[in-house]
Structure 1
C-alpha cells in the first residue's frame, strides 16, 4: 500500500539523521560512545522510536481517508460503475446519494428519500415510501439522499454510482417472489422452514402456481413425518400413476393410508390441479386416518354466498375447515370451494391446520 512506502522513506530519512548525530558524537571525542554501543543499543532503539514516530501521523492520515469512505452511521462507502446485478437479502438497506442510479432486476424493495427520485423508465417522480417496480430504472435527484430497503427474501439490484450498504444479517427466505407485505409470507416461511414445500427454482417459490394432486399428497407425506416404513409397505396403485415416476411412492402411500381414494375408475389424476374443497377433503382424511384425530366442529355453509358450489362429497370437510379456522371466507362472503388452490393458499391452510391441531 502507498502509506507503507511513505513510511519506509520517512524512516530512512530519520535514520540517516540519527546516524549523522551519532557520527558527530564520535567525532567530538566522546569516549563513552563506542562502536559496539552504537551498533547494539543506540541504532536498534533509534530504529524502533523512528518507526513509531513515523507510523503515527501516517496512520492518522490513513484513518482520515477511510473515514471519508464511511457513511455517518458507519456504513461502507462503495462505488459501482455499471448496473450489473448485485444480490441483497431481506432487511438490507442500500443508501444512494445524488446522481446514483439503480435498476430493480428481480425481487421487491421500498424506497424512501428526502427529495426526488425519478423512475426513468416511466419518466415520473417516485413518492417516498413507494414500492419499486421490477425492471424499472431509477435516478436519485439533486440534493437528495435515498434509501432502498429490501422487502423480499432476495433482491437483485443493479447500482451505478456511489452507495452505502447495511447488512441486516437476519434470517430470510431464499425467494424473490415472497415479500414482507404479501399476505402469504408467514405461511410460506412456515411450510419452507418445516420442509413441507421446496421452491419452484433456486430463488422462486411460485406462490401463485396452482398446486396439483401429486404435489399435495407429497406435502401431506412430509407433514406426517415422512414415514418410510408406511411407504415401503404401501401397495395401492392407479392406472395413471406410472411406476418409477417421482410421485408414484407418495400417491401409493396416500391411498394406502386412507388420505385419498383417488378420482374413481382406477385413476388418481396426479397432474390435475386441486380445488380448495379437494384440499380440505384430503386434509381431513389425513387428520382422521393418518393422525387418528377425532375431528369436531361444523358450520352452516348456507350463510355463504357460494355455498351451492360446495360438492356433496366435500360439505363435511369444508364445514369442518371453516369452523376450525383453516380457511377464512373472503370479503365478499364467499368460500370459493371450486376454485383451484395455489401453493400460497395451500401453505396457509397447512399452517392453520398445524397451529390448530399440531401445536
Structure 2
C-alpha cells in the first residue's frame, strides 16, 4: 500500500504501524485505495474545515456516499474509528465496487449468530458488519467475539516492506 501511495505515513519520513487510525485517516486510506477522484470545496460537516489536511478525503468519501457523519452535522474526524464504523464504511465501498452484489445473500442474523456480543452493535451498523464479515474482509476478534465498539485496529499491526 505504501508503494501505491495508498498509505503515506505521518510525515517527516515516519510511518507508525502501531498507531490507531482516526476516522479521517481511515476514509483517506479507503478513498485512495479505491482510486476515487478527489473532491474539494466546503464541507457538509461543521467540524471539517477546508484548510484541514483531511478535508479532501472527507469530501471524497462523502461525495461517493461512503460516509454520512453524525446526525448533528459533524464527522468527528480526529476520533479513533471503531470496528463497527469501519465495517459500515467498508460495506458501502463493497456496494460501490459491486463486491456486495457478487456475494450470495445471507441474513445478517445468521452471519452475526456466532458472536456472543453481536447485540452490542449499533443498529445502523448491523448490515455493514454482516456484509464485511460475509466477504471475509473483517473477522471477529475471536470466533465468538465481534467487539463492534472496540477501536480499530484494536491490536497492533505489523507491516513489512519489500523492494
Deviation at 1:212, TM superposition (A): 0.7
Q: In structure 1, what is the equivalent of residue 121 of structure 2?
A: 310
The TM-score, its normalising length taken from structure 2, stands at 0.79
- Gaps of at least 5 residues in structure 1 are 1-190, 349-359
Q: Among 296, 301, 307, which residue is 2:112 paired with?
A: 301
Q: In structure 2, what is the equivalent of residue 87 of structure 1?
A: none
Q: In structure 1, what is the equivalent of residue 51 of structure 2?
A: 244
In proportion to residue count, which structure has more strand? 1
Q: Among 270, 274, 279, which residue is 2:86 paired with?
A: 279
Deviation at 1:247, TM superposition (A): 0.9
CA contact (8 A) 1:211 1:343 kept: no
Counterpart-to-counterpart distance in 2, 1:237 and 1:347: 35
Deviation at 1:249, TM superposition (A): 1.6
Q: In structure 2, what is the equivalent of residue 209 of structure 1?
A: 19
CA deviations over 1:85-139 (Å, ceiling 9, x no partner): xxxxxxxxxxxxxxxxxxxxxxxxxxxxxxxxxxxxxxxxxxxxxxxxxxxxxxx
Counterpart-to-counterpart distance in 2, 1:202 and 1:336: 34
In structure 2, relative to structure 1, the CA distance for the partners of 1:203 and 1:240 (3 Å cut) is: closer
In structure 2, relative to structure 1, the CA distance for the partners of 1:325 and 1:332 (3 Å cut) is: closer
| 1:322 maps onto 2:129 in alignment | no
Counterpart-to-counterpart distance in 2, 1:286 and 1:227: 14
Counterpart-to-counterpart distance in 2, 1:343 and 1:303: 20
Counterpart-to-counterpart distance in 2, 1:195 and 1:344: 24
Q: Helix, strand or coil for the counterpart of 1:279?
A: helix
Counterpart-to-counterpart distance in 1, 2:2 and 2:154: 12
Counterpart-to-counterpart distance in 2, 1:313 and 1:278: 9
Q: In structure 2, what is the equivalent of residue 74 of structure 1?
A: none
| 1:195 maps onto 2:5 in alignment | yes
Q: Helix, strand or coil for the counterpart of 2:18?
A: coil
Deviation at 1:344, TM superposition (A): 7.2
Deviation at 1:333, TM superposition (A): 2.0
CA contact (8 A) 2:91 2:128 kept: yes
Q: In structure 2, what is the equivalent of residue 262 of structure 1?
A: 69
Counterpart-to-counterpart distance in 1, 2:19 and 2:12: 15
Counterpart-to-counterpart distance in 2, 1:347 and 1:215: 18
In structure 2, relative to structure 1, the CA distance for the partners of 1:309 and 1:199 (3 Å cut) is: same
Counterpart-to-counterpart distance in 2, 1:292 and 1:331: 28
Deviation at 1:208, TM superposition (A): 2.5
- Which protein has the larger Cα radius of gyration, Structure 1 or Structure 2? 1
Runs of 4+, deviation exceeding 6 Å:
343-348
Deviation at 1:199, TM superposition (A): 2.4
Q: Helix, strand or coil for the counterpart of 2:129?
A: helix
Q: In structure 2, what is the equivalent of residue 225 of structure 1?
A: 35
